[in-house]
Amino acid sequence: MADDGSTTVALPEVPLLAVLPGTGGLTRLVDKRRVRRDRADFFCTLEEGIKGQRAVDWRLVDEVVPRSRLAEATRARAVELAARTDRPAGARGIGLPPLERRIEGDRIAYAHVTCVIDRGPGVAGITVAAPATPPPADLAGIHAAGGSFWPLAVARELDDLILHLRANEEEIGLWVLRTSGGADLVEAHDRTLLQHEADWLVREIRLYWKRTLKRLDVSSRSIFALIEPGSCFAGTLLELALAADRTFMLDGERQARPPATVRLTAMNFGPYPTVNGLTRLASRFLEEAGRVDDLKGRIGEDLDAAAAAEAGLVTFTPDDIDWEDEVRIAIEERAAFSPDALTGMEASLRFGGPETLESKIFARLSAWQNWIFQRPNAVGPKGALKVYGTGERGDFDRRRV
């Protein structure tokens, strides 16, 4: 809102983030494809900003309207955008019932997602359950199921849990992901999402999963995935393991249960891009272009630990003798590091490949080292830089930012 009562309507995309010097980190957003470099330079160093007709002329905004016409102009723009949708005019929405989230001490439970917090090492153990029944037989069944349709229900629950942990459990710095149930039912639901991808509701569900997985990617928490007998890391749920910073897969049987496997589906090859615009598989094999194409030939195949390791889908494959110790040591080591340093490291490693608006914000800005070395965890009396080489242990503020 400008001083003269006019309102600026912002551009829909802002691929360049510039920092305004001398103002303690105040930022200016500029679309460098539309704004001339010299004008952008002036704008990014002008504390009071630019308003009115000059903002339009310089292509900083699309339109300037007086306050008296703001509601009218906003509605007109909304109607114009809505007219572009291919959603059928007679389509009816579905009701989304309130999520049934139960918090009992350090346990958070939903219908398909559970989380148990271990406050000692600062670990949240998250388990996502596969569907208990096959998907509806047709599109009408999906619409009738509404909010109880498994892909939608589990996406809502996982999304809610991620936000809860980020907002209310700042000292829980490591999320350990597990799955349980049958891979066949997960794959069946994936086939349904592919078969009906043109339907507006199915499209929204797929986009919801895309957003939820990206929310996981950009969370300033360490993420491990544990693939054990009884897991169902298949298709959409395999994306959880592909999003993890490290993935451990047990090699062999355990407690008389068949060995763990992972399974690729077509949902791993396009519908869920990360912030760099690539799939998680493509991001994983940036310098191995043919690797992803080779994996397409293994869709639907159950890959045991050896095959998953050979395919590059997991990090470590301990056997039953070493499993407990290797996982425990990995968790203890992670808990010993500076949370600030981990946030910077994870942000810099998760988003390789093409740079996009999102990667500039969540990767480049988060990974800038200046903020890490200026915080008490680095330069405080017990910070990492202060005690380095003394034999003393750093005393870190465990809150993840």
Cα–Cα–Cα angle for 13, 17, 19, rounded to 5 degrees: 150
Token representation of residue 270: 């396009």
Q: Reduced to 3 states, what is the DSSP secondary structure of residue 119?
A: coil
E strands, 72-173, in order: 102-104, 107-109, 113-118, 123-129
**In the chain, where are the structural domains located?**
6-82, 102-336, 339-387
Token representation of residue 259: 């060995």
- The C-alpha atoms of residue 14 and residue 33 are separated, in whole angstroms, by 9
Query: Residue 305 burial by CB count (10 A; 0-12/13-18/19+): exposed, middle or buried?
Result: buried
Token representation of residue 129: 């359950």
Say if strands 27-30 and 107-109 run parallel, antiparallel, or are unpaired: unpaired
> What does each of the 401 residues of the chain score in pLDDT, given as a tens digit?
334 444 443 333 333 333 334 333 444 556 667 888 899 889 888 888 888 889 889 988 888 888 899 899 999 999 998 888 888 878 888 999 999 999 999 999 999 999 999 999 999 999 999 999 999 999 999 999 999 999 999 999 999 999 999 999 999 999 999 999 999 999 999 999 999 999 999 999 999 999 999 999 999 999 999 999 999 999 999 999 999 999 999 999 888 899 999 999 999 999 999 999 999 999 999 989 799 999 999 999 999 999 999 999 999 999 999 999 999 999 999 999 999 999 989 988 998 888 888 888 888 777 777 788 888 988 999 888 888 889 888 889 899 87
- The C-alpha atoms of residue 232 and residue 246 are separated, in whole angstroms, by 17
Q: Which residues touch 61 (CB under 8 Å, ≥6 apart)?
A: 8, 9, 10, 11, 55
pTM over 0.75: yes
Strand partners, 128: 113, 179
Tell me how far CA of residue 377 lies from CA of 174, 284, 348, 367, 391, in angstroms: 18, 31, 19, 16, 16
Record: fold of 102-336 = 2-enoyl-CoA Hydratase; Chain A, domain 1 (3.90.226)
Put the strands of the sheet holding 233-234 in their side by side order.
233-234, 262-263, 302-303
